[in-house]
Structures are given as structure tokens and as C-alpha cells.
Amino acid sequence: MITLKTDKELEKMRISGKVTGSILYELKDIVRPGISTQEINDYVEKRIYGEGMIPTFLGYNDFPAGACVSVNDEIVHGIPDSGRILREGDIVSVDIGATYDGWVSDAARTYPVGTVSEKAANIIAVCRASFFAGLKHCREGARLSDIGHAVQVTAEAAGFSVVRDFVGHGVGCDLHEDPQIKNYGDPGKGVKLMRGMTFAIEPMINEGVYDSQVRENNWTVVTADGKLSAHYENSVIITGGEPEVITLDERED
């Protein structure tokens, strides 16, 4: 069941989203060669707790950290590790959530580590662009599948594939609410969007095939062919006009 949020509930989500967006913006200066994925997680957790909020991911279905930190061919759900040191040329996606008074925001970014290859820079840029292509359809009266169709068209036009096994979702008092939001498919299908709906829209695109595998830790998802993957996500409110992106820091282009 898709729930429509009240003005009071949306305001709590905005407060949470502002913190989430701010942390992700700050991470562009934190991510660098020589830092461990655990250090990235520690920064995220400290910042969330410092704002009087709770790291949503920590303990969620027994996930052991406050951030998912996924490197290179890791699509999502990378577990932070003090022994995993980022190197020049890597790319790393960081997915975080903050809970404020019971209300959740969820967002992710993919960062270059130092100087990266042209293909690495391109997949990061295209993943971000595919989110904004989908965002154009986050309007009252549009159909749910219009979002994913726009993501798919954008990603595939640039020569990338769209992950099928993991999708976006509703977000609110729970991290994962109805509906599921695919990043692919035909337009004009699914429920009509209404003001008060709140979505976590999260393109995940791969350099090679879209197939994925789960590692032995039962969390970390990797590309089946070992090629790069990128992830970009924001929490979005459907309004009576333009969609409101609550996890996009005002300093981000």
C-alpha cells in the first residue's frame, strides 16, 4: 500500500533529508586515495549521530554499518572494512539513510577516487544524469513506470546497462515502502503519481552486463562480469508541481 504523507510528516523527512544531503556533499572531500571504507562509514555515522538522528542502515535486517560503501564492481550493499583501502582510480558509491523522529531519508552518490579513467568518470556522470531524467516524470498524474523508462533510455543511450535485480522504492516511516520503482521498463504503466507520495529513486547502472551476484557475506552485490557499477539516489516528494528533492544539498550542482 502506498501511503500519502501529511505536511507534518513531510517536514520531518525534509529535516532528515537535509542532513543526508549535506553529508553526501561533504564526502566528496573525504573520499581520497588511502582512506578505508570503514573510515568513510565512521564519518557518516558520527555526522548523523551529531545531528541527533539515527543511522537508518545500522542494524537494518542485521546490516552491520551505518553506510553501504561499494567499490568499483560492487553495485550496492558494500560492507565497510578497515582493511579495504581506496586507491587512485577507484570509484566508490556511498549509500546512507538518516532517521529523524521516526522518519527516513535515503540517498547515495558515486565518487571518483583521485584521478579516474574516462570510462569511470562517464559512468558516474551518466548514472547521475539518468536520475534527473527520471525525476522529470515525478509529477502528479504521471505513471510510475515513466520514471524507470527515462532512467533506462538515458543509461542505455550512453552504452551502459541498468541493474534489474535491485530497484528504487517508497520511503517514509520505513526505509523500504511500497511501491517498488524499477529503473527500466515501458512507460505509461503502474499507479498514477499523487502529491504526498515519497520515493527513493536510485539508478544503478553497469559498464557491462546488467546481471549481478551476491558475495559470500550475503550482502554485497557485484556485477556478474567484474566491470564497474555506479549508483545515484535521492529521496523525492511528489507535489502539485515540480518534484521536491529533499536529499540534494544546495551546494551540489
Cell reading at 128: 547521475
State the total domains in the chain.
1
pLDDT at position 229 is 99
Residue 2 lies in a domain: no
Cα dihedral sign for 202, 208, 213, 215? negative
Residue 252 lies in a domain: no
**Does residue 253 have a pLDDT over 90?**
no
Structure confidence by residue, pLDDT tens digits, 10-53 = 999 999 999 999 999 999 999 999 999 999 999 999 999 999 99
Residue 42 lies in a domain: yes
Q: What are phi and psi of 234, to 5 degrees?
A: -145, 155
Which DSSP string corresponds to 182-215? -SSS-SS-SPBP-TT-EEEE--EEESS-S-EEE-
Residue 99 lies in a domain: yes
What's the CATH number where 45 sits? 3.90.230.10
Q: What are phi and psi of 50, to 5 degrees?
A: -65, -20
Average pLDDT over residues 159-188: 98
Instruction: Kindly give, in sequence order, each residue whose CB lies less than 8 Å from that of residue 46, ignoring residues fewer than 6 positions away.
Output: none
Residue 1 lies in a domain: no
Cβ contact 174:220 at 8 Å? no
Residue 74 lies in a domain: yes
Average pLDDT over residues 148-153: 98
State pTM to two decimals.
Answer: 0.97
CA angle (37 as vertex; 183, 60 as ends), nearest 5: 60
**Full domain range(s) for residue 110:** 7-245
